[in-house]
Amino acid sequence: MLRIFKETKINFIGFQKWAIGFSLFLTLVTFVSIGYHWVVHKAPFNWSIEFVGGTQVQLKFNKPIHNEIQRVRDVMNQLGFAGSEIKPIGTEADNELLIIVRKQGEAAAVGKDIQDALTKAMPDNTFIVLRHEGIGPKIGGEMQRDAVWAVLLSLIGILIYVWFRFQASFGVAAVIPLFHDVIITIGFFSVLNREFSLTFIAALLTIMGYSLNDNVVIFDRIRENMKKGLKGKSFLELVNLSINQTLSRTIITSGITFVVVTILWAIGYKTSIGDFALAMMIGTIFGTYSTIYIASVLLVWWHKRWPIIKA
């Protein structure tokens, strides 16, 4: 395995009080922000159109539209549809655009407003309306519920998997950091007032999988070292040794992932892909952090109460 650090002896667990305090602070900020949104905006999050309902209009242009999306977005903002989702449909040669706005009501009327505004603003690129339809609040509510269940069922599945692969202590120590990563990522999006969309939910599930992979790598090394016995070391020292032994791998994989999603965010920060990349940037940082300072610390705490390995 490629190593960028050799024989490090960092006492990671020694910083556990500071780390736990930092995590509790960020968790508090998350819930304060959610409470603020609930009181001021009557909703815990800045839900996207998929969750609260709206109107979608699909257009087909005669000329290429790929480079004029910002122009369309400006028209939507002038109409009072700020935050609309605008994305190409099909191949670039199809010249089709899907516009989704938060406004509910008569879909045909909303579609007519959009058609008139774009016809006036873009006389050089004529188009036809292929379809217009409303997304009701009932469907949005069902999607909110389904999104919550998707995250919770994923966490339960991960707990069962790690429990059987390792043991109960490792299962609990793996799942609690995932809750931590999800809450912190939600907190950043809440504070920044970013949209909670299906893309964001996909990012949360990806973060959970990535963080779990990090946990399993360190847990595997801990288990390997446990087979050799403590040999005069404490369990805390064994965990610290395992973290140091996998440190190069952790930094390399996390670093590469962070660079990739940062580039993705820089390219598409104004689109839904940008939100996915931003969530992944946050999740990559805190997924690595929680593996070391939450998962490993929980194992040490568990061992103090219910010994995982005998001295």
Q: Which of 186, 259, 252 is nearest to 214 (CA)?
A: 252
Task: Note the pLDDT tens digit of each residue in 285-304.
Answer: 999 999 999 999 999 898 88
Q: What is the pTM of this model?
A: 0.78
Are 29 and 66 within one domain?
A: no
Question: 48 in a domain, yes or no?
Answer: no
Q: Do 207 and 185 form a contact (C-beta atoms < 8 A)?
A: yes
Task: Note the pLDDT tens digit of each residue in 174-206.
Answer: 888 988 999 999 999 999 888 888 888 889 988
Residues linked to residue 54 through DSSP beta bridges, in sequence order: 135
Are 172 and 102 within one domain?
A: no
Are 111 and 165 within one domain?
A: no
* Block residue for tokens 């929980």: 298
Question: 1 in a domain, yes or no?
Answer: no
Question: 3 in a domain, yes or no?
Answer: no
* Mean pLDDT value across the chain: 84
* Block residue for tokens 């907190």: 187
Task: Note the pLDDT tens digit of each residue in 29-59.
Answer: 999 999 998 888 777 887 777 777 778 888 8
Are 110 and 212 within one domain?
A: no
Task: Note the pLDDT tens digit of each residue in 113-149.
Answer: 888 888 888 888 888 888 877 766 555 667 778 878 8
The structural domain count of the chain equals 2
The Cα 238–Cα 217 span in angstroms is: 15
Question: 4 in a domain, yes or no?
Answer: no
Are 113 and 180 within one domain?
A: no
Question: 311 in a domain, yes or no?
Answer: no
